[in-house]
Amino acid sequence: MDITRWKVTRAAFGAVSKLLELQLRGDGDEEDDDGAAPADDAVFYQQIGVAVRPVVARALRALCVEDGDEVVALKLWHKESSSTPTDLAAGETRVYAAGAVGVVLRLLADQAVLHAATILLGTGATKGVNREGDPILPGALSMTPSAAQPNTPSPGLTTVPVVVTYTPSDGAPQTGTLTFVGPAGFAISGSVSFTLGGVTGAGSTKVRAVD
């Protein structure tokens, strides 16, 4: 049983075989696919638990065995440097996207690192994940004194209600009233309004995210 290298010219999953079916070109001149040995219905056996659909490009190759009149691909690889990572650390295991070498899960000795332009936790995920030091949006707080009024039942005193309003960032305002009672002529002037803020505190020591 020969082990041979082939150029991959087409790749698509077979509805019947459930395998990645390949069109391959073998013995012949590199620039002459039409004149090369053909294998138009080869299959690629992927490791169970891992599935890949490669981007067919000039340098995509298959390592095959010839089983009777059939050709079976055991491995696929791509020698163009931009398509195959070579900067692994000692002991590292890396899983990367066949069409984008920068999308990668790196399993290192003391950490697991996931790189991608976007990382979705769950299908259709849209909400951002907060990290240590991300701003919080607690809302706004205001205190506004109302006009002074003679106190009831002590008209010699003065009542000044102060309306306290808390408006959360995602909800309806909540209002309460503080009542100040003072001597005649007592008044409260001015009002205050705070936009509350802050950041999240220290998060997990195990799971880290980039800024």
Partner 1 sequence: MVHEVELRIGATRTRLTALDEVQVVHDMLQAGSVATLALWRQPGDRPWPETELYRRAKIFTPLEVAIDGHVQVRGVVEKVRVGAGRAGAGLILSYRDHACGAMVAEAPPSLSLRDVTLEEALRRLVEPLSLPLVVGASADDARRVLAGMRPGARAPTGRRTRRRHHVDRFRVRPGTKVWQLCEQLCRRHGYLLYTAPCESGVGLVLDRPAYDSDVLYQFVRRRRDDASSESNILDAWHELDATQVPTSVSVYGHASHAAREDARHKATVVNDRLTGPRVEAFTQTRPWYRRDPKARTPQVSTQKARRLIAQANTNLDVLTVAAQGFGQADRLYTMNAMARVDDEETGASGDYLVTQVTLARSRKGGTTAQLRLVPKGSLVIEPDEGA
Site residues for partner 1 per CB under 8 A: 2, 14, 16-17, 19, 21, 26-28, 35-41, 43, 66-72
Give how far the C-alpha of residue 147 lies from the chain's centroid of Cα atoms, to the nearest Å. Answer: 53
Residue linked to tokens 């070579």: 86
Which is nearer to partner 1, 34 or 170 (by Cβ)?
Answer: 34
| 8-state DSSP, 8 | E
CB of 120 to partner 1, least distance (A): 34
Q: What Cα–Cα distance (Å) separates residue 104 from each residue in 27, 118, 130, 201?
A: 34, 12, 22, 29
Which is nearer to partner 1, 13 or 194 (by Cβ)?
Answer: 13
Give how far the C-alpha of residue 158 lies from the chain's centroid of Cα atoms, to the nearest Å. Answer: 60
CB of 62 to partner 1, least distance (A): 13
Residue 137, helix vs strand vs coil: coil
Which is nearer to partner 1, 28 or 161 (by Cβ)?
Answer: 28
Please list, in sequence order, all residues whose beta carbon lies within 8 angstroms of the beta carbon of residue 107, skipping any fewer than 6 positions away: 92, 93, 94, 95
* CA–CA separation, 40 and 30 (whole Å): 17
CB of 34 to partner 1, least distance (A): 9
Which is nearer to partner 1, 42 or 160 (by Cβ)?
Answer: 42
CB of 112 to partner 1, least distance (A): 35
Which is nearer to partner 1, 68 or 91 (by Cβ)?
Answer: 68
CB of 58 to partner 1, least distance (A): 19
* CA–CA separation, 143 and 176 (whole Å): 9
